[in-house]
Chain A
Amino acid sequence: MVTLNVNGQSHSYDGDTDIPLLWVIRDELGLTGTKFGCGKGLCGACTVHLGGVAVHSCSVTVADAAGKTIVTIEGLDPEGNHPVQRAWRETSAPQCGYCHAGQIMQAAALLAVTPKPSDQDILTAMSGNICRCGCYQRIAEAVRLASTGV
């Protein structure tokens, strides 16, 4: 039995702790905003904040996450109005939208550390997040907008 602190709430989980955190967040806690994309840390769809740092939840075991602060897209802002979320809406960034929770979590983590990123900072920070619909132009614009005030 481990305790997971997700979005400010404690959850106990009595299953195998050697599996990726992603599947407990999605299948056991029912927080499906965090997406499965590749299972190998290659696409960023499952990005969450672990101890304030953006991580691929497919590549972190439950055991490693236990006791740390976990924030998912559902917990990024109580009203869904984090500057990154607002910028995303302002630019109508998504097409299918599936990867965008991960994109937003990655962008929010970038801005937490680097509030005024350069264009190169944005491209570097966001390069781990794949969008197959190809919304990159607007994603770059949204991150820029979030950093300059929406």
Chain B
Amino acid sequence: MTHMFDMTSIEPGGIANVSRRFVMKGIVGSGALVLGASMLPRSAMSAWDTGADTMPGGTVNDPHVYVAIDPSGMVTIITNRSEMGTGARTSLPMVVADEMEADWLRVRVAQAPGDEKKYGNQDTDGSRSIRHFVQPMRQCGAAMRMMLEQAAATRWGVKVSEVRAENHKVVHLASGNMLGYGELAKAASALLTPPVDSLKLKDPRDFRYIGTGSIPIVDLFDITTGRATYGIDAKIPGMKFAVIARPPVVGGNLVSFDATEALKVPGVEKVVEVQGWPWPSKFMPVGGVAVVARNTGSAIKGRDKLKVVWDNGPNAQYDSVAFRKQMEETAANPCKVVRNDGDAEAALKSAAKVVTAQYYIPHLAHASMEPPNALVNVFQGKAGTECVAYAPTQSPGGCRDDLAKMLGIPVENVTVNVPLLGGGFGRKSKWDYVLEAALVSKATGAPIKVVWTREDDIQHDFYHTVSAERIDAGIDTNSKVIAWRHRSVAPTIMSTFKAGADHEAPFELGMGLVDNPFAIPNLRCENGQCQPFTRIGWFRSVSNIPHGFAVQSMVAEIAAALGRDPKDVLLELLGPDRIVDPRKSPEVADYWNYGDPFETYPIDTGRLRRVAEIAADQAGWGKPLPKGEGLGIAAHRSFLTYVATVVHAVVDDKGKLSIRQVDTAIDCGFHINPERIRSQIEGAAVMGLALAKHGQITFKDGRPQQTNFDGFVVARINDAPLDVRTHIVPADWNVPSSGVGEPGLPPFAPALCNAIFAATGKRIRSLPIGDQLKV
């Protein structure tokens, strides 16, 4: 597939007579046609307000940036989001196509290089692609449609109200005359973008593609033939291949190396030192020694022959077992109060019964099937030192900025092309591997493809945090839960950026801790002091994993303590349908609602209740099951989306676990591509099983003890859930779209462990399950 990088036929220059910046500053006079799309706040035309414009680069909705039509009628729609498997690269252009009345068969998608000034924010993370861009992309498509209609009306000398765009052509309603989009392309693109408040969006009843799930992903054919180009597949003539030996303990340093034997390996051409940045190193490289060869196989062989002396640095004592003990001790004692409704301490003291449980969720590695890699060429060009990268990155904008900064060149001299990502899960939001390739390219004067082996990936990840969660629930004599105290102790992602960061940040606390939706009068959340000895990073659904696991396991533990049905207890704890506003709770500081306005995306317990009821109904909750089988339920709001999962687990008499069926209900508001929502939910069940059953990274002497898929075990087809049923709650355009990529994950592990309890009476509080079920 060559067209991904072929931008030559895209002419986003129709607005050339008035520069976009000029328009944006509002210097141009009044009059509809000379106003730029960005003159008015986008919210003026938005059905709902989002936090999109607080992200770096904000949003852009101008068809002059996003749409090009060639004279043959072929429409090119640019996507600004990285494709890592969610389908965003298809779904957002599909929104533009639908709004502009383009025929999808005559649409091709082009991938934007990193340029947030031009394309708006490009951080493909936080389950934000649809949530933040569905409205700008609708506006973009509507503007393009209206420009095409204007061009046709002008050509015919009729009023624009007499014409209508329809399936790749504009029709003059009275005469039936038609002009194809190709014929109108030049005239339409010469028009200025209509002002945002003049845009007429389509009636959702007229959508051809949005909401139908009928459009396969644009790369489907190429994926099945091996032609799809991932980052690791990029090519530049003359490129060399490199692997890097990195400090075995993060925070360590290179002392010395001897490359004599490595250089004797056939195919090895050079060995160079790679600069490392001091701990905490943010997204900068950790340094090491690069072996450059004619192919990756020779580079790996050469690296095996390197003799390197490392200083292991300040984290060499990291030991998971000792760290766990320390975290659990912290959780056993009062910690920093981060939410305090009522008086939980007093209520716990007066409670007739107190249920206490401690949960543990280990570090996880992302282990995307395509390991980190990048192809970078740093060379002397017309503009001085230039840099061209092909990088499977979730953040091409930030990556570009850091490449420029590190190389000391203007950002305009840096191009970050974004091929497909073979999975991301948050790992590829960090661009250290791209910077490494740039350093090696600069040092060797050749285009360099750095590939991380799987061992590199597992041993040098930005790991999902490790967490000890303790919950004490107080129950009165009427079996009502009157007190809830949840202590969370986990290293913060902020520690990767700032030495000494030792408490969860608001964005972590907001993921399932202080946003607790339960109707409990005395509800206290605490966060313990904790500093990591490794790099912590975002992993799909982030802190929702430990918080959600603890909260949703505890619900079933309370049910068990009371001899009640776990679903009934869950619904009772959710309480009456209402909006829960953590900002009104004492001690909640800087409540983080996934970066979006609370008014648009409140915590609506009615929606959470509804998904729980749907999942339970669809799973046949309450049906009689044979011995060794059980249903478990969990419901969790994350990324502004409501998800409930019921797992049907089977545990045989030897303790072998299998999953018979999974029912997941999801309410993500107005949805674009139900087919890709289903695939995300199916995938979340598999990843959820992987982390619940197998997943852990442990440390000894500062080093991860797992190296590859034999140690860091992920789910395989023969233990994966293969009957995952997704129930999407229908929603109109007036229900704001929310996230899909991540929210399917948090409920799975607690639903599974609750199902295991129902099947066996065995409560799993420490993940992974491993051999805990073995009889």
Contact = CB atoms under 8 A, between A and B. Distances in A.
Given A99-B369, A133-B683, A134-B683, A16 B266 contact: yes
Contacts of A117: none
A19 B295 contact: yes
Interface string B680-722: 1011111100100000000000000000111000111110111
B223 A132 contact: no
B221 A134 contact: no
Contacts of B675: 92
Contacts of A101: 223, 226
A97 B85 contact: yes
Contacts, number: 209
A40 B220 contact: no
Interface string A7-51: 000000001101110111011101111111111101101000000
Interface stretch (B138-146, B190-198, B420-428, B607-615): B420-428
Contacts of B370: 35, 37, 96, 98
Interface residues of B, number: 70
Nearest to B449: A27
A23 B369 contact: no
B371 interface: yes
A48 B718 CA distance: 21
B723 interface: yes
Instruction: Decide if the interface of chain B is mainly helix, strand, loop or mixed.
Output: loop
A52 B739 CA distance: 44
Contact of A35 (B232, B367, B715, B724): B232
B679 interface: yes
A37 B224 contact: no
Contact of B686 (A34, A36, A72, A134): A134
Contact of B224 (A35, A104, A133): A104
Nearest to A19: B297
A40 B708 CA distance: 8
A100 B369 CA distance: 10
Contacts of B332: none
A95 interface: yes
Contacts of A32: 226, 229-230, 232-233, 235
Contacts of A100: 223-224
A23 B298 contact: yes
A139 interface: yes
Interface in A84-102: 85, 88-89, 92, 94-101
A98 B226 contact: no
B709 A38 contact: yes
Interface in B317-346: none
A15 B369 contact: no
B684 A134 contact: yes
- Of A34, A76, A129, A133, the most chain B CB neighbours within 10 A belong to A133
A129 B709 CA distance: 11
B227 A74 contact: yes
B241 interface: yes
Interface string A122-141: 11101111111111111110
Given A89-B220, A101-B226, A136-B717, A36 B295 contact: no
Contact of B687 (A27, A37, A85, A132): A132
Of the listed residues A99, A129, A137, A138, the one surrounded by the most CB atoms of chain B closer than 10 A to its CB is A137
Interface in B275-327: 294-298, 300-301
A109 interface: no
Given A23-B295, A37-B454, A133 B423 contact: yes
A96 B85 CA distance: 3
B369 A95 contact: no
B580 interface: no
A26 B454 CA distance: 17
A19 B300 CA distance: 9
A85 B717 contact: no
Contacts of A26: 233, 295-296
B586 interface: no
A136 B685 CA distance: 10
Nearest to A123: B718
Interface residues of A, number: 61
A36 B225 contact: no
A80 interface: yes
B716 A130 contact: yes
Contacts of A30: 235
A63 to B, nearest CB: 12
A123 B722 CA distance: 10
A27 B708 contact: no
A38 B295 contact: no
Most interface-central of A19, A80, A104, A135 (chain B CB within 10 A): A19
Contacts of B224: 80, 85, 88-89, 94, 100, 104
A73 interface: yes
Contact of B298 (A19, A42, A80, A135): A19
Interface in B718-749: 718, 720-724
- Looking at A15, A124, A129, the one whose CB has the most chain B CB atoms below 10 A away is A15
A97 B420 contact: yes
B75 interface: no
B454 A23 contact: no
A33 B298 contact: no
A43 B709 contact: yes
Contact of A132 (B367, B420, B708): B367
B219 interface: yes
B689 to A, nearest CB: 8
A15 B267 contact: yes
A80 B221 contact: yes
B230 A98 contact: yes
Contacts of A24: 295, 297
Given A36-B451, A94-B223, 16 more contacts: A16-B266, A33-B225, A34-B226, A35-B369, A35-B422, A38-B708, A45-B369, A74-B227, A85-B224, A89-B221, A92-B679, A131-B686, A132-B368, A133-B369, A136-B717, A137-B722
25 contacts: A15-B295, A16-B266, A16-B301, A19-B297, A19-B298, A19-B301, A22-B297, A23-B295, A23-B297, A27-B296, A28-B295, A30-B235, A37-B454, A39-B455, A42-B454, A42-B709, A89-B221, A95-B85, A98-B230, A98-B420, A104-B224, A123-B717, A130-B714, A136-B717, A139-B717
4 smallest beta-carbon distances between A and B, as pairs: A33-B226, A134-B686, A98-B422, A23-B297
